[in-house]
Amino acid sequence: MPTDVLDRELVHSGHVGCPGCGATIAMRFVLKALGEKTIMVLPACCWSVIAGPYPQSALKIPVLHAAFETGGATATGVRAALDMKGDTETTVLTWAGDGGTFDIGFQSLSGAVERDENFIYVCYDNEAYMNTGVQRSSSTPYGAWTTTTTGKDWKKLRKKNIVEALVAHRIPYAATASIAFPEDLLRKAQKAKNMKGSRFLHIYASCPTGWRIPSEMSIKIARMAVQTNIFPLYEVEEGLRYTINYRPKEYLVREYFRLQGRFKHLTEKDLDQIQQMVNEDWELLLRKAGEHV
């Protein structure tokens, strides 16, 4: 990684992200990789607030605040406008939360990538609607507490596999990345930047406030999500070529769940079941990557 990439800084201090916010770490990394010539489309999410109230901005690049469900469509328009001006150099980046991606913004995203619009879509995934107070989304994992899945009614449905949904569109590039693996993340963002067409990055971004974890643990937990296979690091080119970027250490999911308040109600039996679900997903991924033995 050239040091000038790592050293450049496009996020200002003084933003109002929570202490230890994984989404701001993700933003710092992605903008380091993409550089100044980037224009951002920002549908409603925590980052709409972190980016600053008018007339302040936490970012050194132009940002277009957009409606919650319009990440894909607005980017399409921005790209078309730039192209008309003859600016093919500027990268158009949609930066959306999991709610804005998996749920309400899904049709807009699906439409844009089906047309192979020339832009990068980043979903920073904190696994719930955090900005409005921790409501569950289709990204909230099995077993989690949220303010809409409380007490005995913790979420008993699986997390949607958004990367596979994007892969099904046969887009040029779809990848997962994690704030705990900066080198891998920066490499993927730079790789995406140097490609054309629809590119999708799914970035795991811990949320100390919504997950009921201590702020200093947000990287540790993100790292464990990868180490336990809960969030495998991989990339898919042209919807076909899978590459798994990290060989996990066979850690047990139990270790990951134990550290987080949002999972504290789970019993040993629940954790065994979750372990099985994770193993199943991992085997499926290995098969797709042609690495199954």
Partner 1 sequence: MIMNKYVNPDNLYIARSYLTTESNKTGSWRFLRPCYDEKTAPCSIACPAGEDIPRIEMMATQGLFKEAWEKILIENPFPSVCGRVCFHPCEGSCNRRDFDSAVAIHSLERFIADTAIRYGISPELEKKPSRKQRIAIVGAGTAGLAAAWFLSLLGYSCDVFEASSEVGGVLRWGIPLYRLPLSALRHDIKQITELGVAIFTGKKVSKEMLSELKKKYDAVFIGCGHSLGMPLSVPGENLSGVSEGLEFLRQIRDGKSPVCSGVTAIIGGGNTAVDVARSVVRLGGKALLLYRRRRQDMPALALEVEMALEEGVELEELVAPAVISEENGKILLTLQEMKVEGEECGRDRVIAATGKNRQVRVERILKAIGMQASESWQQADRTDNEILTLSHSVLDSRGREAVMVLGGDIVNKTKSVVDAVASGKQAALALDILFQEGIEAVVPKLQACLVGPGSSLSMEIFMGGERRLRNKHVVSYEEINTDYFRFSPRVTQPRLLKEERIQSFEEIDLKISAHMAMKEAERCFNCGLCNQCDNCFIFCPDTSVILGRDHQGRHINYDYCKGCGLCVVECPRNAMSLGEEKS
Residues of this chain that interact with ligand TPP (CB under 6 A) are: 44-46, 68-69, 97-100, 126, 128-132, 137
Rounded Cα gap, residues 156 and 69, in angstroms: 26
- Which CB sits closer to ligand TPP, 99 or 172? 99
Q: Could you tell me the two tokens for 264? A: 């504290």
Shortest Å distance, C-beta 269 to ligand TPP: 30
Which residue of this chain has its Cβ atom nearest to ligand TPP in the complex? 97
Q: Which is nearer to ligand TPP, 6 or 165 (CB)?
A: 165
Do residues 130 and 142 make contact, with C-beta atoms less than 8 angstroms apart? no
Binding site for partner 1 (CB under 8 A): 6-7, 9, 11-17, 19-22, 24-25, 28, 52, 54-58, 62-63, 179, 182, 208, 214-220, 223
Of Mg ion, ligand TPP, partner 1, none, which one sits near residue 15, judging by CB under 5 to 8 A according to partner kind? partner 1
The least CB distance from residue 227 to partner 1, in Å, is 8
239 CB burial (10 A radius; 0-12, 13-18, 19+): middle
> Which one of ligand TPP, Mg ion, partner 1, none interacts with residue 182, CB within 5 to 8 A by kind?
partner 1
CA dist., res. 206 & res. 18, Å (int): 11
130 vs 213, beta carbon nearer Mg ion: 130
217 binds, among ligand TPP, Mg ion, partner 1, none (CB under 5 to 8 A by kind): partner 1
Nearer to ligand TPP, 202 or 242 (CB): 202
3-state DSSP assignment of residue 282: helix
Which DSSP category does 152 fall into? Answer: G
In DSSP notation, 195-255 reads S-SEEEEEEE---HHHHT--GGGHHHHHHHHHHTTSS--EEEETTTEEEE--------HHH
CB of 95 or CB of 106, closer to partner 1: 95
Binding-site partner at residue 132 among ligand TPP, partner 1, Mg ion, none, CB < 5 to 8 Å by type? ligand TPP
Q: Which does 131 bind (CB under 5 to 8 A by kind): Mg ion, ligand TPP, partner 1, none?
A: ligand TPP
In the list ligand TPP, partner 1, Mg ion, none, the entry touching 55 (Cβ below 5 to 8 angstroms by class) is partner 1
CA distance 52 to 64: 12
CB of 207 to Mg ion, least distance (A): 7
- Which of 38, 118, 126, 149 is in the footprint of Mg ion by CB under 5 A? 126
Residue whose pair of structure tokens reads 């997903």 in the numeric block: 281
C-alpha–C-alpha distance, residues 62 and 42, integer Å = 10
Measured from the CB atom, the residue of 215 and 243 that comes closer to partner 1 is 215
CA atoms 69, 124, 155, 249: torsion sign = positive
Burial 9-48 (b: 16+ CB within 10 A, else e): ebbeeebebbebbbbbbbbebbbbbbeeebbbbbbbbbbb
CA distance 282 to 150: 28
Quick check: 208 binds Mg ion (CB under 5 A)?
Answer: no
Binding interface with Mg ion (CB under 5 A): 97-98, 126, 130
